[in-house]
Each structure stands twice: as C-alpha cells, then as structure tokens.
Structure 1
Amino acid sequence: MAKPTAKERVLDSYEEILIEQGPGGVTLEAVAARAGVSKGGLLYHFGSKEALVDGLLERLSRLSDEDLEQARKAPEGVVSWYLRTAITDATQRKPLHRTTMATIRIMLNEPRVFEVVQIYNQKVHDLISEHVGDSLTAELVILVGDGLYLRSALGRDDASRLLDRIDEIKARIQP
C-alpha cells in the first residue's frame, strides 16, 4: 500500500479532529501538527478552513461514488450489499465511514455539506429503487440500513450479530 501523500495526511488529520473534537477543535495549526506538516505545508494544499471542507466534500463524493459502484457490482445484489455494509463499514472503520462521521460533525454548520450529503442520499435511493421496484420499499431498506449503521457506529454488538440474518431481513422488507 502506498504511503499517503501530505495532502491525504492533512485530510485524514482534519477528519480525525472533527470526529474526536467537533468543529470547535479544528484549527489550521492543530490539523498541520497532527498531519506532521508545517502550517505552510497545509496551506500549500488547503489555503483555508473552507478549502479543508471542500477537500472533505470531494473525498466524500469520490468515496460515495466508489461505494455505489461496488453496490452495483455486488454478486449478492444491491439490497443485501447495502444492508451488509451498513454494519461492516462502521465496525471496520473503512475510509467512507470515517469521512461520513467527520461530515456529520460539520453538517449543521456548513449548508454546502448538507447539499453534498443530500445528493449522495438521492443516488442511494435511486439505486435501491431501481433494484427493488418502488420508492417506498427503497425507503424502508434505507431506514433499516441507517439503523444498522447507527447501531454499529455506536458500538452496539447486536448490529454485527445481524450480519448472518441479512437475507431474512431483506425478505421481510422486500417479500
């Protein structure tokens, strides 16, 4: 695996501070120190806090698009894949999960973050609707997935035990 670039380390550090401390903990100095770069090095890649938000949103969009592509290609089907990854993404701390958690921390303070999240949510809804045949069933699948994701993100053991029952859950949502 390739060593992360300075720019990637800065974004990783920004995410970590957002997750641990929220927006109030973010200073350019703190992000630079955590990333192991000078403040000038940070400013080279991200000229302001707003540019850090832009970088986070670009990362979220890229990771989300990659995630949707994996769903489309999943041998078990989109719905099973969506429900299964709602649990495993959080417990395995995949990059999309970490970026999502960081994004949630700033969503209330940054309307443009909310807009990007809404776009991704619509893409998820459209993909699931395409595979289940109707909008209401898609909403139910998403709600179950959101609940599983939240339980898993909060460290609830019962979420991971449900992995073995994904087919049963899917059958109850989409008979």
Structure 2
Amino acid sequence: MTKIPCINSLAVKTSHVLPPDTNNHGTLFGGKLMAYIDDVAAISAVRHARKPVVTASTDSVDFLAPVKEGDSVCVESFVTWTHHTSMEVFVKAVTEDLLTGDRKVCTTAFLTFVAVDDNGKPVSVPQVYPETAQEQQLHDSAPERAAERKKRREHSKEMAATFGTDYPWNEKKQGS
C-alpha cells in the first residue's frame, strides 16, 4: 500500500451557532459539538482509507472555551497515525465571534476509527506520513496515546464484565 500525507484527509465543517443549538447558558450543547467532531473525524478517516469506517474510541474531549450563540464553530480534522486497520484522527474546534473576529480553540480531541469491509470486518489501511512540524509532533506521540487507549479499553472490558447487563437495583441488597 502507498503512504498518504496527513493533509489528504483534512476535513473542515463550519456551523453558525443558533438558539436551538444552545443550552440554558446560551452556549453550544457539548453533545452537539461532540456530534460535529465525530462526523468530521469520520470524513477524515474515510478520505484516508477510502473504505467505510466505524468509530472505535473517542479520547477525552476537552472543552477549552465556550461557544456562544451567534458565534461560528469550525471543526477541523485529519489522520495523524495509522496501525494495521485503525486510524487516529486529531480534531480541533475553533469558535469565532463573528462580529469581532475573535477566535479561540474551544475543543481538542483524538478519535480512533477502524476501516471495515462490506461485512463489517476490519481491513488494512494505508500508512500516513506527516509533512509539517505539527503533524510530526502528533505522529510521533501517537504510539503513546494508542497504548493508553489499549489500557483504557481493557479496563472498560473489565468494567463491562463486572457490571454486566443487569441493573444493580434489581439485585437483592446485601444482608437482606
């Protein structure tokens, strides 16, 4: 497989924040921004793999600044690193006060996607390579984030096994 530069997977979405998009504080619902992040990141992953993808994980989504009603929010993403079937995607969201032009990075996140075939089975993806210093920094630090994700996933599996599918309040209380 050929190697593909990070920039080839760049995806950008800009939205105007309107009243139905906001919470009681007059700021963009966090869940709405998270949906934008997943959407744009998935586009980057598909652009890179040229195959359907599924979201495998979302690292912490850090909300750094509020996105106010009337502002715009621009979500940018690109593939930073690849493994056999998976791709790490970096996402940055920038809020802009459209009246003053003041811009702030409001959110950053990393997501992992897996390319799949028509049967939903993982398939190989091309390698990605960085061209800028920022892309190189993200690429070089990706294996450490991947190891953290793997550890977190194992912990999640343990939690799922411990808690299962029954609700705790359906069990008898200890000592009853």
State the TM-score, normalizing by the size of structure 2.
0.24
Give 1 or 2 for the bigger CA radius of gyration: 2
Q: Which one has the bigger strand percentage?
A: 2
State the TM-score, normalizing by the size of structure 1.
0.25
